[in-house]
Amino acid sequence: MCKIARRLAAVTFLAVFVMVQPVRAQTLPKGEDILDKNLEATGGKAAREKCKNRVEKGTIEITSIGIKGEVTIFAAAPNKMYFVTKLEGIGQIEEGCDGKVAWSINPTTGPRIKEGAERDSALRRADLEADANWRKYTKKAECTGEETVDGKPCYKVELTMTDGQTRTHCYDKSSYLLLKSSGAEKTANGDVNAESVFSDFRKVDGVLLPFKTKQTVISTEIIVTIDKVEHNVEIPENRFDLPGDIKKLAAKPSK
């Protein structure tokens, strides 16, 4: 091939490459559309809004150290939550939110009130209708590519929350179920990278929920398996009240 022909071929290939890039980009759906399809796939907004409260019971296993325990989660609209974990040889760990104050009590740190970005994350997770009203918490949703999770091709969506925090979600391309969520979790000791993989989806009162979550925090793997989910059940009125030690902390003047 002569020099002129080689140059012509190079220019042609470059032109084709440039033309193909927009076409490839257009094959990815909008992030907002994926989130809407996820909502529809898991039962839709109407079904979720019928669920005024939820009680989940199951087991937890920290596989790296061989510790097992029990988990019970109480949640009520709009953003009240009480989460208790009983671990063998460690004791009881509690977390909660009364709609305004987010807190935790565990044998290591004792009673603690969550502040700043950590509080924002806790309030968002406590909102029973967060998935139905995802636009309330999401500033931007951009589909950036594809990824495989447990052998299933997924759309990869980068989320920027209204409080500035970011998450990466992977949605099954065929079912639009959320199979993986990853990002930096806000803690009292700073950001901690965590990844959660969801599976064993089951429909309860018209809402499709994952009954198994495998979370990896740094090098620790935690598996939560839900055995029972109930909606719109009778929950004691004081279930979401602040514990006594938390009330004392809340009553102290801010520094």
**pLDDT, tens only, 42-80:** 999 999 999 999 999 999 999 988 999 999 999 998 899
Res 228 pLDDT > 60: yes
Res 18 pLDDT > 90: no
pLDDT for the residue numbered 23: 45
Q: Between the CA of residue 250 and those of 126, 238, 247, 253, what are the distances in Å?
A: 19, 17, 5, 8
**pLDDT, tens only, 205-216:** 999 999 999 999
pLDDT for the residue numbered 14: 47
pLDDT for the residue numbered 239: 96
Res 114 pLDDT > 90: yes
- Which residues have CB under 8 Å from 12's CB, separation 6+? none
pLDDT for the residue numbered 26: 55
d(CA 32, CA 101): 30
pLDDT for the residue numbered 170: 98
User: What pTM was estimated for this model as a whole?
Assistant: 0.85
Q: Which amino acid is at 79?
A: N
pLDDT for the residue numbered 221: 95
Highest mean pLDDT among 65-74, 160-169, 243-252: 65-74
Q: How confident is the model at residue 255 (pLDDT cuts 50, 70, 90)?
A: low
Other Cβ atoms closer than 10 A to 183: 19
Q: For the residues 154-165, what does the mean pLDDT come to?
A: 93
Mark out the alpha helices in 42-115 (DSSP H runs).
44-49
Burial class (CB in 10 A: 0-12, 13-18, 19+), 51: buried
Q: How confident is the model at residue 1 (pLDDT cuts 50, 70, 90)?
A: low
Res 81 pLDDT > 70: yes
Q: For the residues 184-202, what does the mean pLDDT come to?
A: 87
